[in-house]
Structure 1
Amino acid sequence: MTSILAKKPKKMKLKGLKTLGQQLLSSRAHINNLPLLLGFISPSSPPPHVLESLLSLQSFFTTVLADLPPSQSSKKRRRIDDSAKQDPEFIYRTWLRSKFDEFVTLLIEVLISPDTEDALREIVLDSFMEFVKLGNGGSFYSSIYHKLLRSIVNSPTPVDFLSELLALKYFKYIDVRYFTFISLEKLSKALDTKDTAGDETAGGDGDSRSQSRESMELSICKIHYIISHIPPLEGNDGKSEYEMWSGSGLPSNEEHDKKKLSKAQKAEDKGWKAEKQTNTVLSPASIAKKMKLKFTKAWISFLRLPIPVNVYKEVLATLHQAVIPHLSNPIILCDFLTKSYDIGGVVSVMALSSLFILMTQHGLEYPNFYEKLYALLSPSIFMAKHRAKFFQLLDSCLKSPLLPAYLAAAFAKKLSRLSICVPPSGELVIIALIHNLLRRHPSINCLVHKEDGDENEEDKNDSGSEKRPGFDHFNSEESNPIKSNAMRSSLWEIDTLRHHYCPPVSRFVLSLENDLTVRSKTTEMDIKDFSSGSYATIFGDEIRRRVKQVPLAFYKATPTSLFPESDFCGWTFKYEGSNEIKEQKTVEEDDASTKRQRIEC
């Protein structure tokens, strides 16, 4: 943003600047000092000069702002007679209004400039918000507040400190949140329109398109930061007792509202009436209902933007806790969440939490849900950042007793196959999930122990399957759980975990040897106890265990092979050149003994 003033004011000492401010406040005869003081409100001016000019101008405009006419761009422009336009007093106040608008623009320029010191930026923001509070006849001055948010979002440089300061000091006020939602909705729609227009005219230079895309992503990141830092709408006690920044809507201002409804103002246009109606909306009794509507519109407008991947993941991570409970109709997120769930990978995992809430609490029907959930089971999910929440949701999704047997068997078999190629912490989760599946669905307990002769004649006559012993009919590459042939397989992978190198895995898998169909003697596993496991947690649990017998590396006879021959019948692990190694080792020992004798001599 370029400065409004075409020429820089002459250099002036701080004492002279203070004198200009005193003269301006003392008499209207020194009104020409106003443009001079405005010339020092600039990022290039020294901070003491900016601060001194700001204090003088704030004191001046605070006293006269209530008597100024609306700005030329205001929607609440009043009807003015031609005779009033020729009034010198009206011309003077109109000129003051233009100077105030210029003053607001200069303050925003200082706020968003990267050259402004943080201490000065905080003072300027406080002064600006005072005008937001008092500059509209005692009600919230939404137009200049929207101008501030628009400048923050469209700034070509990051303004993190300003956004943090605004959220920290002013988002606790309910009216500030209300108009913030309104402004963010407008800004999101403007960016969406800009992106659509850019796609239609996608020609020209590639560098310019890249810069435009980067600028839009930066703006989207700023909108997300602001909208995600607005506190929850409802209080802890559920009452509508909120602190207001401006006096609009409070019972203590009823007399002031009656004055505004005098005969002189009954001839105002529809814009002024709409503004008055907005002020009435901001009463503490009705604010909660209107806030939820504004909250919903702001978030829906933001989610329609082309959100960058990093922001997209942050949104999905907090959507189920920070957004869905406060929406007026959460089901309107179904399109956004189903598209996110169809992307696959980590994005689908993060969208599962919100989608699960819509399905279980708001009646969303998603026919391909379990097929998509089945496709998410891959080795990479056991190393994902949000794996703990995913496994808890997976267990909840498979809890229904109405789940078909083929579907429960497909998930059990897919998890069993993954146990071969995942870390020990993942194997513990898999054992717990399969334990719960076998207990909830007794019809799939045939997978625990199935011999080759257990198949019926129809399966034996199937020409598409091979008939050698040990053949597994399960197709791990099939994405459709119906066609995976899980019911014709067995959980042989789980049986191999009994000989796992990690003691917790080999001990935990023994729980599946119990008869899980007897529900009175068994209990479900809490997936939360295993979902956050890692090598560090397993190691920590092992070193804290009290071991009665400590295994020692002692052999009665020196082993000659890595594995005994009884484990692998027909295989041998003896090396033919073992005699040569022994002879070489004997020669080396003789040389070493000879050297020791020489040293002792």
Structure 2
Amino acid sequence: MKMKSSEKKQVLLEIKQKTNNCLNSRKHANDLIDIISKVQDDEESIVLASIRSVHKLFSHYLEVSEMCMEQTASEELSKEDKYKLWLRDRYKDAVESLIEMLLHLNTSVQELALSVLMKLVTQESKHPLMGKDVKGPFPLNLFKNMLKTLLSSEVNNEALLNRFQEYYEFDDIRYYTMKHVLSECQQKPKQDIAEIWLGNVFAILENLLVPSVSKDQDLKKFLCQKSVENHKITSVVEHRRLYSCSWVEFLKFKLTATLYRKVLVIIHEKVMPNIASPLVLSDFLIESYDIGGAISLLALSGLFELIQKHNLHYPDFYEKLYVLFEPTIFHVKYKARFFYLADLFLSSTHLPSYLVAAFAKRLARISLVAPPSGLLVSVPFIFNLIIRHPNCKSLIHRPDMEMDFDDDPYDHLEKDPAKCKATESCLWELKTLQHHYHPDIIKLSKKIYDGDIPDMVLDLSDKFELSANDLFEKECSKKLKTTAVTFEPPKGLLGTKDDKIGLCWTL
């Protein structure tokens, strides 16, 4: 039942009054129980007010060492120690309630609970519960319990974890976060894992970055200043090791198709520059490249990076790339990324002519069923291949060869570019495209057979992102001239040459 406005105001006033009473006198300490219980109220405003009160009270208690106890072997406890134990139990209850609020349906409640928990982490590190002389002051139990809830298997916390990423700038928080994620990934079974949990782990990993400093430099930016007592936290090498191990363990899980794509999108630009040894990703990227479809397209950039910069030996790279040239590439979401990378991979002038000819022929063949937006990329792409490799001009300098689909020696079903017989064929497909309905495609196709191929490669960057909507808007934005509706000026109403109406009517 929804609370009335007057009742709500009364409860908020009570929370405020009880908070002040607890701060002013120990006699009202039992009011803590009521304040903590309101954290799980149904009304959002009451929950928010209770969370703020909990933060205010326990920040004060930590600061004045109200809950601080020295370890003692004595069985007898003084009244002061009993009070402190009771207060610490209430602190434990409050923390548990705040952690539960991380899974609240309301975003404001989640974010406030997260903010208060992180402030308590800071306060508890400055004022340890077990005394100033206790080693390892970072409140690891509090932090682990909070992270364990954020990595829920039942609630998608991606939005809240994106809010949590602002704390990754602190070296100690980043260190303990990676350490916990690695531990969780190692303990979980690699099969039949909850999709929600995997999504939450990925939400943490995708925003983690290792500081770009030399190995000899120590990290010094900490949320909890005393955590520098752990020397591993200050080591860039240790941070990079944890980051690498966390990703390697995460990639061992069976990822969903959506999550698989998300990983491959960021692995080249975000993960590989921060990982200790990028070659540990080679098995994952090779397996992804062999899957086919959109997954293979996304694995291209990472795999090529390993080949080019880290000396990965993968002799089948171009054979697998050749197979990816299918009619579906003109319709996938990652079309622009694929053609950009393919243009980069085939830009080397040291590639054998038979290989380049095979790519040019295969691209010309699938262009027969491509949409106009795809043809405006594929035809100039073939231009660039021929410009970079003059030996491939034999594909267009065969005017005596009259070919069609049936008598073409090129085998479009052959997956090996060395055996497809592309060098024995010609680009008759571009001759066919001269009869396309789009005028720009007609002009491009005619350039090859008219010998009007430019000397320099064409810039395709503005064509990779072309879509059918872009072409339609371009045509609509043109200023059309007045179009004639008749080719002969009329002489009167019924005065044209072929007008038969004049035989039946006179004016």
TM category (shorter chain) comes to 0.7 to 0.9
Instruction: Indicate whether 1:246 and 2:224 are aligned.
Output: yes
Do the aligned partners of residues 503 and 96 (structure 1) sit closer, same or farther apart at CA in structure 2, a change above 3 Å counting?
same
RMSD: 3.9
Bigger shift: residues 327-336 or 393-402: 393-402
Residue 476 (str. 1) matches residue 412 (str. 2): yes
- The SS at the match of 1:100 is helix
Structure 1 stretches of 5 or more lacking a match?
1-11, 71-79, 199-212, 251-275, 455-466, 557-585
> Cα gap change, 1:425/1:553 in structure 2, threshold over 3 Å: closer, same or farther?
farther
1:47: Cα distance to partner? 2.8
| 1:352 counterpart = 2:300 | yes
* Structure 1 residue 421 displacement after superposition: 0.9
Match of residue 127 from structure 1: 116
1:325 to 273, 277, 292: 273
Asked whether the 8 Å contact 2:182–2:246 carries over to 1, the reply is yes
- 1:84 paired to 2:20: no
Q: 1:424 aligns with which of 368, 372, 376?
A: 372
- Quick one: which of 166, 177, 197 aligns to 1:180? 177
Q: Identity, % of aligned pairs?
A: 28
Counting only pairs closer than 5 Å after superposition, residues 37-48 of structure 1 correspond to structure 2 as 37-44=35-42, 46-47=46-47
Deviation at 1:487, TM superposition (A): 1.8
1:20-169 equivalent positions in 2, closer than 5 A: 20-28=18-26, 31-44=29-42, 46-47=46-47, 50-51=50-51, 53-55=53-55, 57-63=57-63, 68=68, 83-88=73-78, 93-114=84-105, 117-137=106-126, 139-154=137-152, 156-159=154-157, 161-167=159-165, 169=166
Q: CA deviation at 1:493?
A: 0.8
Aligned to 2:7: none
- 2:255 aligned partner: 307
CA positional deviation for 1:507: 1.6
Q: How does 1:363-512 map to 2 (within 5 A)?
A: 363-450=311-398, 471-512=407-448
User: 3-state SS of the aligned residue for 2:369?
Assistant: coil
1:546/1:496 CA distance change after superposition, 3 Å: farther
1:523 aligns with 2:456: yes
Q: Distance in 2 between matches of 1:470 and 1:59?
A: 82
Residue type at the aligned position of 1:165: R
Alignment of 1:535 with 2:465, yes or no, is no
8 Å Cα contact 1:41-1:53 kept in structure 2: no
Cα distance in 1 between the residues matched to 2:255 and 2:157: 19
Q: Which segments of 5 or more consecutive residues in structure 2 lack a partner in the other structure?
A: 1-9, 128-136, 489-497
**Count of aligned pairs between the two proteins:** 475
CA contact (8 A) 1:69 1:97 kept: no
Q: Structure 1's 37 and 359: CA in aligned 2 closer, same or farther, altered over 3 A?
A: same
Q: 1: distance between equivalents of 2:345 and 2:309?
A: 13
For residues 39 and 429 of structure 1, do their structure 2 counterparts lie closer, same or farther at Cα, with a shift above 3 Å needed? closer
The code of the aligned residue for 2:250 comes to F
Residue deviations 1:505-544 (CA, integer Å, cap 9, x gap): 1222344347699xxx811122323222233444555677
Aligned-partner residue type, residue 408 of structure 2: D
The amino acid of 1:394's aligned partner reads A
Q: Which amino acid counterpart does residue 226 of structure 2 have in structure 1?
A: S
Q: Deviations over 1:308-359 (max 9, x none)?
A: 2222212212221121111111111111111111111111111112112111
The whole-number CA distance in structure 2 between the counterparts of 1:179 and 1:120 is: 25
- Which of 200, 208, 224 does residue 222 from structure 1 map onto? 200
Q: 1:69, CA displacement in angstroms?
A: 5.7
Confirm or deny: 8 A CA contact 1:175 1:246 kept in the other structure: yes
CA drift of 1:420 comes to 1.0
Residue by residue, what CA displacement relative to the aligned partner does 1:189-218 show, whole Å, maximum 9, x if unpaired?
Answer: 34x42x54x5xxxxxxxxxxxxxx6xx111
Cα gap change, 1:545 to 1:475, in 2 (>3 Å): same
Aligned counterparts of 1:144 and 1:87: Cα–Cα separation in 2: 26
3-state SS of 1:431 partner: helix
Aligned amino acid, residue 177 of structure 2: T
What's the counterpart of residue 189 of structure 1?
186
Q: Structure 1 residues 308, 65: CA separation in 2 closer, same or farther (over 3 Å shift)?
A: farther
One-letter code aligned to 1:357: E
In 1, the alpha carbon distance for the partners of 2:436 and 2:109 equals 64
The worse-fitting range, judged by mean Cα deviation, of 145-154 and 178-187 is 178-187
Cα distance in structure 2, aligned partners of 1:124 and 1:185: 25
Shift of 1:480: 2.1
**CA-CA distance at 1:387 after TM superposition:** 0.9
Measured in 2, the distance between the counterparts of 1:543 and 1:28 equals 77
Give the drift of 1:472.
0.6
> Is the 2:410–2:420 Cα contact (8 Å) retained in structure 1?
yes
Against the structure 1 CA distance between its residues 223 and 375, is the aligned structure 2 distance closer, same or farther, given a 3 Å change threshold? same
- Alpha carbons of 1:553 and 1:328: their partners in 2 closer, same or farther (altered >3 Å)? farther
Distance 1:492 1:311 in 2: 42
Alpha-carbon contact 1:346-1:384 (below 8 Å) kept? yes
Instruction: Show the 5 A alignment for 1:14-25.
Output: 17-18=15-16, 20-25=18-23
**In the aligned structure 2, how far is the partner of 1:247 from the partner of 1:225?**
27
Q: Partner of 1:420: helix, strand, or coil?
A: helix
The 1:60–1:512 alpha-carbon spacing in structure 2 relative to 1, beyond 3 Å, is same
Q: Name the TM-score, length of structure 1 as normaliser.
A: 0.69
> What amino acid sits opposite 1:47 in the alignment?
V
Partner of 1:562: none
* Per-residue CA distance 1:470-510 (angstroms, 9 max, x = gap): 71111112222222121221111112223332221122234
Q: For 2:159 and 2:474, how far apart are their aligned partners in 1?
A: 43
Counterparts in 2 of 1:379 and 1:361: CA distance versus 1, 3 Å: same
- The separation in 1 between residues aligned to 2:400 and 2:252, in whole angstroms, is 55
Taking the aligned partners of 1:34 and 1:244, their CA distance within structure 2 comes to 32
CA shift for structure 1 position 108: 0.7
| CA distance in 2: counterparts of 1:44 and 1:544, whole angstroms | 56
Structure 1 match to 2:5: none
CA change 1:33–1:593 in 2 (3 A) is: farther
Contact kept, 8 Å, 1:134 with 1:140, in 2: the verdict is: no
Residue pair 2:404, 2:428 contacting (<8 A) in 1 also: no
Deviations 1:226-245 (A, max 9, x none): 3323467349xxx9887532
User: Is 2:126–2:226's contact at 8 Å kept on the other side of the alignment?
Assistant: no
Structure of greater Rg: 1
Amino acid across the alignment from 1:99: R
SS in 1 for 2:349: coil
Question: Is the alpha carbon distance of 1:66 and 1:308 closer, same or farther for their aligned partners in structure 2, counting shifts above 3 Å?
Answer: farther
Q: Secondary structure at the match of 1:136?
A: helix
406 and 593 in structure 1: CA distance in 2 versus 1, 3 angstrom threshold: same
Change (3 A) 1:51 1:441: closer
Q: Distance in 2 between matches of 1:101 and 1:476?
A: 69
- Higher RCO (CA-CA < 8 Å; seq separation 6+): 1
CA change 1:439–1:226 in 2 (3 A) is same
TM-score (structure 2 length as normaliser)? 0.80
- 1:27/1:529 Cα in 2 relative to 1: closer, same or farther (>3 Å)? closer
Note if contact 1:371-1:479 (Cα within 8 Å) is conserved in structure 2. yes
